[in-house]
Structure 1
Amino acid sequence: METNRRGAENAEGRELGEDMNRLTGEVIGAAIEVHRVLGPGFLEEVYKEALIIEFFRCGIPHVVEKGVIVNYKGHEVGKGRLDFLVANCLIVELKAVQNLAPIHEAQVLSYLKMTNYPLALLINFNVPLLKDGIKRIILS
């Protein structure tokens, strides 16, 4: 499900391309495989480590715990950390919580604004069916 209901467009208003759709499909497939094997109930760190293994197995380029700088009017005011940056264009944020809350979505949207990447996946592994725990969040 998408947060931006206006369609899959990036900050410049261009539609996200087939490459991005393919990449998100690969990432979701890797996450589904991790969830299929482990199921719900573990801490976020367990899913992160398993997803690293699955990304390597699938040849998905990624950076783990990518640091980002928070700027305010040209001044560094803090730092953030992305769970994954995939192919230098897709943020993947993991959770293992009872329910995703609006603050989780706001966190990911803030990451998109800080980095100007066009798309993020927010994945909650603590669900019976992983498809119910995945949100696409688009920078608009």
Structure 2
Amino acid sequence: MTENEIAKHIVDAAYKIHTRLGPGLFESVYESVLAYELEKRGLWVTRQQIIPVIYESVRLEEGFRADLIVEDKVIIEIKSLEAIHPVHKKQLLTYLRLTDKHLGLLINFGEELIKDGITRLVNGL
């Protein structure tokens, strides 16, 4: 399955979840439900995967944690905020760079309309 095909499933699942649950829940709730919904669709999902930082050839495991990684290809960063700030996009771009992955989705379930809460980010590698 390509990254774009995976992304279509993710966006569709986010829309379904937002329609049923609406905005205002904790990020952890959306993460659990989105992982469940994607696994129901037959996708392999990893939650809270550690993304290590390599500094001067030392691997630091306490680097970052990706909310969800789908099919080991697409990183999802979940928010439940009134507004996304530039730092949130930088965070996801850093995850993409550190993992050598190409596609990430920043999903803000706090938006009134989920279509306004989905940002697609690409790592230029």
Q: TM-score range by the shorter chain?
A: over 0.9
Residues 92-118 of structure 1 show CA distances to partners (whole Å, capped at 9, x for unaligned) of 110001100011001001101110100
Q: CA deviation at 1:138?
A: 0.4
Q: Secondary structure at the match of 2:66?
A: strand
Q: Describe the superposition over 1:102-136 as per-residue Cα deviations: whole angstroms up to 9, x where unpaired.
A: 11001001101110100100000001111100011
Matches of 1:85 and 1:47, distance apart in 2: 14
TM-score by length of 2: 0.92
**SS of residue in 2 equivalent to 1:21:** helix
Is 1:42 paired with 2:25? Answer: yes
- Once the two structures are superposed, the pairs formed by residues 49-60 of structure 1 within 5 Å of their partners are 49-60=32-43
Kindly report the root-mean-square deviation, in angstroms, between the aligned alpha carbons of the 2 structures: 1.3
What are the Cα deviations for residues 36-61 of structure 1, in whole angstroms up to 9, with x where unaligned? 11000111111111112211221121
Write the letter of the residue equivalent to 1:60: L
Whether 2:59 is the aligned partner of 1:76: answer yes
Which amino acid counterpart does residue 65 of structure 2 have in structure 1? R
What is the identity percentage for the equivalent residue pairs of Structure 1 and Structure 2? 33
CA distance in 2, matches of 1:56, 1:115: 22
TM-score calculated relative to the size of structure 1: 0.83
Partner residue in 2 for 1:8: none
Say which structure, 1 or 2, has more relative contact order (CA 8 Å, 6+ apart): 1
2:119 aligns with 135
Which stretch has the larger CA shift, 39-48 or 74-83?
Answer: 74-83
By percentage of residues, which structure has more strand?
2
Corresponding residue number in structure 1 for 2:49: 66
Moved more, 73-82 or 115-124: 73-82
Q: Deviations over 1:63-95 (max 9, x none)?
A: 111111111232234421000110011101100
Of 67-76 and 43-52, deviating more is 67-76
Matched residue pairs, number? 123
Aligned residue for 2:2, secondary structure, equals helix
Q: Which residue of 1 aligns with 2:96?
A: 112
